[in-house]
Structure 1
Amino acid sequence: MSEALRRRALLGAGAALALAPAARAQIWPDRPVRLIVPVSPGGSIDPLARLIARHLQEALGQPVVVENHPGAGGNIAFEMVARARPDGHTLLVGWDSLAINPALFPKVGYDPLRDFAPVIQTVRTAQLLVVRPGLPAAGLAEFLDLTRRQPITLGSPGNGSIGHLAAELLKAHAGAEWTHVPYKGGGPALADLMAGHIDAVFLTLPAATEHVRAGRIRAIAVSATARAPALPAVPTVAESGLAGFEVTSWQGLLAPAGTEATILRRLNAETARILALPEVVSQLAGQGFEPVSGPPEALATRLAEDVPRWPGIVKLAGARVD
């Protein structure tokens, strides 16, 4: 081969390599997309993931398969996505634990800021303290007093979950006492509460709203600064005597770091469109979710603010997972 032909071949190969990412993005997705959920079915994360998946697969023209991988406060799912190929076919339904766990666990196998490409924040919501119907406590003050007089079991969606941390913060602020019972998601915790196996649970508001309305469990307090429109009769923790107490939760979609920007932008646009659909807005509001949307950078900013924020709160609460 002549020198001129060799140079031309090298230039052609270089151009093909340069176009490869754009070409991949144009044909994406070319197979089913996996939506990794870090908790068991039930609770609030799983139903929202399935709602988005149902609409997203219509837009993408490929199945969007929800896979539940609970355990270790979400770390199993987080590590799975962090190590996945950044081709847009494996996505994470992330929540607060992604930012909390590095402060709570001695070691995690991922970096929440380095190993993920934020797609979109989907919703935010408050935490709700709920108790079994037979527990003799009508409000937060009575509940806290009860914990000082008799053994109480309080569940959470898992070690490292925001429900766990909200409970630890409440314990630290109020001088209360209980035995923490971690579950692999809000669904199993809620089932045991309704069966009377535990006394109380801290859950995201949407996970418990329907059951509170039906009288299967009783709501004691909400963790936001204002009452929740979905359950307006339930007072805030601050109203109940602990001024300044606030814990809010977020959920969002993330991809492995290195995923093509074109893929991220399309996922962002499609999910934002889904969150704006009237039937979705109505469904989310009725459960206690507030749709958020926004560009990928907004979720990146939220993570960048949360990761350094939680170590101080974890230390104040005295929470630790071995």
Structure 2
Amino acid sequence: MPLGRRALLAAPALLALPRPAFAQGWPTRPIRLIVPYATGGGTDLLARALAEALRPLLPQPVVVENRAGGAGVIGTEVVARAEPDGHTLMAVVSTHVANRYFLPSLSYDPLRDFTPVAMLSRNTMALVTGTGQPFADLRSMLDHAKRHPGRVGTGSTEALSSFIGQELARRAGVEMPDVQYRSGGQLMNDIVAAHLPVGWTSTASVMPHMQTGRVRVLAVSTATRTPFFPEVASAQEQGIAEFDLAGWVGLYGPAGLPEAVIQRLHGALTQAFADPVLRQRFTAMGIEPDLRPGAGLAEAAQREDRLWAAAAAAGHIRKEQ
């Protein structure tokens, strides 16, 4: 039946209704939390702990789904294409922003094509080695690398840890090839097995291996020491001037995520992060919680973008061919 004039005039208003109304009933099915990295790394551990903590706070479970590959791009593309209905989210490290400066091309814009929901944690990076290696501190490791140019590979898992490793080598005047891994868990397995001399990874990836007695932390990437390894001096303390690099883990949704969904999500996250059980679990895993709203995550992402743009302009990083 043809629509009357009044119905036609009301149509735009009717089209505007579903999102707020839908958001009030969200979620109506399980929420996919995409982790675009392999299992066992720091982001995966955080996501799984958080999904468990959110279970009693939301009417539907949060299901973690690992979509590793392409330096995080494969899983991130899934979220970029998803409906902005709050049922597909992702947890990514700060190199989500940096990838545009390292990879030859991206099918999405890291800033424009996603909705920042919340900052979840601060990522202090640790330089680790096996106790069987012939060096016990940062200075002796760099001296060893100078005596064996190109033979002391430094492991990394994404753009930030790769940049930190190569920036340390550049400032120290040594040649240390970058050895890339798909996750911190895989990198740590090779450190323990003495297949990899040194590597930069998150404190969360290091913590599960500290009790083995086969892992040593040589330095941390921030200007100040981490509470997880308070006895370990920072690289800056050990003579690498103004060396202060860290990352973060952020929660994003597709572009256009309704504000009502964002607010409800942040309310549940605030409750979860206040739970002493989750905080104790974070401490045990080496995770530094740093919950901030979406605006705080957006600000951090824009700051990262400026940092990487400046590094690219200075020639310190180059896109892969």
Kindly indicate whether the alpha-carbon contact (under 8 Å) linking 1:122 and 1:291 is maintained by their aligned counterparts in 2.
yes
Equivalent in the alignment of 1:28: 26
Task: Give a deviation string over 1:137-188, Cα, whole Å, max 9, x none.
Answer: 1110110111122211221114x2x111110111111112222211111111
Alpha-carbon distance in 2 for matches of 1:53, 1:321: 34
Kindly indicate whether the alpha-carbon contact (under 8 Å) linking 1:40 and 1:69 is maintained by their aligned counterparts in 2.
yes
SS in 2 for 1:130: strand
Equivalent in the alignment of 1:155: 155
Kindly indicate whether the alpha-carbon contact (under 8 Å) linking 1:84 and 1:256 is maintained by their aligned counterparts in 2.
yes
Alpha-carbon distance in 2 for matches of 1:99, 1:273: 28
Higher mean alpha-carbon deviation, 12-21 vs 258-267, is at: 12-21
Residue of 99, 102, 110 corresponding to 1:101: 99
Equivalent in the alignment of 1:85: 83
Task: Give a deviation string over 1:97-126, Cα, whole Å, max 9, x none.
Answer: 111111111211111111010000011031
Q: CA deviation at 1:213?
A: 4.2
Alpha-carbon distance in 1 for matches of 2:227, 2:100: 33
4+ long deviations beyond 6 Å: none
Equivalent in the alignment of 2:298: 300
Alpha-carbon distance in 2 for matches of 1:85, 1:247: 34
RMSD of Structure 2 on Structure 1 (CA): 1.8
Relative to the length of structure 1, the TM-score reads: 0.93
Task: Give a deviation string over 1:269-305, Cα, whole Å, max 9, x none.
Answer: 1112211211222222344332222221111111111
- Matched residue type, 2:212: A
Residue of 274, 283, 287 corresponding to 1:285: 283
SS in 2 for 1:236: coil
Q: CA deviation at 1:313?
A: 2.5
Equivalent in the alignment of 1:208: 206
Alpha-carbon distance in 1 for matches of 2:223, 2:190: 28
SS in 2 for 1:317: coil
Kindly indicate whether the alpha-carbon contact (under 8 Å) linking 1:125 and 1:288 is maintained by their aligned counterparts in 2.
no
Alpha-carbon distance in 2 for matches of 1:35, 1:64: 6
Q: CA deviation at 1:241?
A: 0.9
Equivalent in the alignment of 1:181: 179
Kindly indicate whether the alpha-carbon contact (under 8 Å) linking 2:132 and 2:214 is maintained by their aligned counterparts in 1.
no
Alpha-carbon distance in 2 for matches of 1:172, 1:179: 11
Q: CA deviation at 1:33?
A: 0.8
Task: Give a deviation string over 1:61-111, Cα, whole Å, max 9, x none.
Answer: 212111111112111122221111111111010211111111111211111
Q: CA deviation at 1:316?
A: 4.8
SS in 2 for 1:50: helix
Alpha-carbon distance in 2 for matches of 1:296, 1:104: 25
- Matched residue type, 1:187: G
Kindly indicate whether the alpha-carbon contact (under 8 Å) linking 1:44 and 1:206 is maintained by their aligned counterparts in 2.
yes
Kindly indicate whether the alpha-carbon contact (under 8 Å) linking 1:153 and 1:179 is maintained by their aligned counterparts in 2.
yes
Q: CA deviation at 1:260?
A: 0.8
Equivalent in the alignment of 1:72: 70
- Matched residue type, 2:26: W
Q: CA deviation at 1:235?
A: 0.8
Higher mean alpha-carbon deviation, 254-263 vs 287-296, is at: 287-296
- Matched residue type, 1:58: P
The 5-angstrom pairing of residues 1-322 of structure 1 reads 6-150=4-148, 151-158=151-158, 160=159, 162-314=160-312, 315-322=314-321
- Matched residue type, 2:220: V
Task: Give a deviation string over 1:169-216, Cα, whole Å, max 9, x none.
Answer: 111111122222111111111112211211111001121023234312
Kindly indicate whether the alpha-carbon contact (under 8 Å) linking 2:102 and 2:317 is maintained by their aligned counterparts in 1.
no
Unaligned stretches of 5+ residues in structure 1:
none
Alpha-carbon distance in 2 for matches of 1:285, 1:143: 29
Alpha-carbon distance in 1 for matches of 2:86, 2:218: 42
Alpha-carbon distance in 1 for matches of 2:273, 2:311: 31
Q: CA deviation at 1:12?
A: 4.7
